[in-house]
């Protein structure tokens, strides 16, 4: 195995084993802690999954940088962010609130790529829902696969028939005004809007065609990095809220959809978000 580029097989094994760890806690007794600044909760499963993923990466790729939700950055600083470097962006358990309530809508999300001139260029990504054994894998220029079957976004063109997913877990108080107004506008124009509580899994299911679009702001890099590549490699369009090229290390929001739906979804969102 190259010190510089992991294989799909390595990622598949890594993410499925992490998923098995979370299932040992799911719908059982475990401790829950509140994060600071009203940023949600963390459970024993989040920590155990992240520790396992980091350990396996460190064993094989000793020089790689890791950005993970619960432990933050390792070997990465703003001072060296302009230098090309290999980096993993990890959410060990996306949808922790769902998980804590026994809701099976959660996943593990892992992306690998390189930072080039300050921009993350994804090379390999995986999203795994342990409760359904749904494994989404994407590799740059090689497509997206769900349990080994290649995915292609559907070509629905009529926004009135589109199912759109979003979320707003960290939005509170006055920040909810934009959220509610945007939800109202999209709900009135589409078949319906869904709020599920796990952004990475929403992105994976957009690639599958369950949703015809997904958007959310603010999100963290680990919520978006893997899903962005999975949607793109399935033939979708991914942008930031300004409609520009998306980078999970720079952008706080993401809009993902098929090529026909994305322009109208972007237009509706920009009525309420100026940047």
Binding residues: 69, 91, 93-94, 223
Per-residue CA distances from 207 to 232, 238, 268 (Å)? 8, 11, 21
3-state percent helix, strand, coil for the chain, nearest multiple of 5: 35, 25, 35
* Ramachandran area for residue 102 (φ above 0: left; ψ -120 to 50: alpha; else beta): left
Tokens of 228: 């962005």
SS (H, E, C) 198-256: CHHHHHHHHHHCCCCEEEECCCCHHHHHHHHHHHHHCCCEEECCCCCCCCCCCCCCEEE
User: What does the alpha-carbon distance between residue 70 and residue 47 come to, in Å, rounded to a whole number?
Assistant: 7
Closest among 105, 101, 103, 71 to 88, alpha carbons compared: 71
Numbered residues of the known binding site for Mg(2+): 69, 91, 93-94, 223
Is there a cis peptide before residue 218, judged by omega within 30 degrees of 0?
Answer: yes
* Chain centroid to CA 142: 19
Q: Contact 256/213 with Cβ under 8 angstroms?
A: yes
Q: What angle do CA 34, 39, 42 make, to 5 degrees?
A: 40
């Amino acid at each position: 195995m190259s010190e510089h580029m992991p294989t799909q097989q390595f990622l598949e094994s890594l993410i499925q084993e992490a998923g098995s760890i979370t299932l040992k806690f799911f719908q059982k007794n475990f401790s829950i802690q509140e994060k600071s600044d009203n940023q949600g909760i963390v459970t024993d499963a989040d920590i155990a999954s992240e520790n396992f993923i980091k350990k396996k990466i460190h064993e094989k790729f000793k020089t790689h940088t890791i950005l993970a939700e619960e432990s933050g950055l390792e070997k990465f600083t703003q001072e060296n962010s302009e230098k090309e470097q290999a980096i993993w962006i990890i959410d060990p358990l996306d949808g922790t609130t769902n998980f804590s309530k026994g809701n099976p809508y959660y996943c593990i999300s892992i992306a690998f790529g390189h930072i080039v001139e300050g921009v993350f260029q994804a090379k390999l990504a995986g999203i795994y829902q342990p409760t359904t054994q749904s494994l989404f894998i994407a590799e740059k220029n090689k497509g997206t696969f769900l349990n080994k079957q290649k995915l292609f976004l559907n070509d629905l063109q009529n926004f009135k028939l589109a199912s759109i997913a979003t979320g707003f877990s960290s939005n509170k108080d006055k920040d909810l005004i934009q959220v509610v107004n945007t939800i109202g506008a999209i709900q009135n124009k589409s078949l319906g809007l869904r709020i599920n509580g796990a952004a990475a899994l929403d992105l994976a299911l957009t690639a599958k065609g369950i949703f015809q679009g997904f958007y959310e702001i603010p999100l963290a890099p680990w919520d978006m990095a893997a899903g962005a590549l999975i949607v793109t490699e399935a033939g979708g369009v991914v942008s930031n809220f300004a409609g520009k090229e998306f980078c999970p290390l720079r952008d706080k929001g993401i809009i993902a959809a098929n090529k026909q739906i994305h322009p109208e979804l972007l237009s509706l969102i920009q009525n309420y978000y100026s940047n």
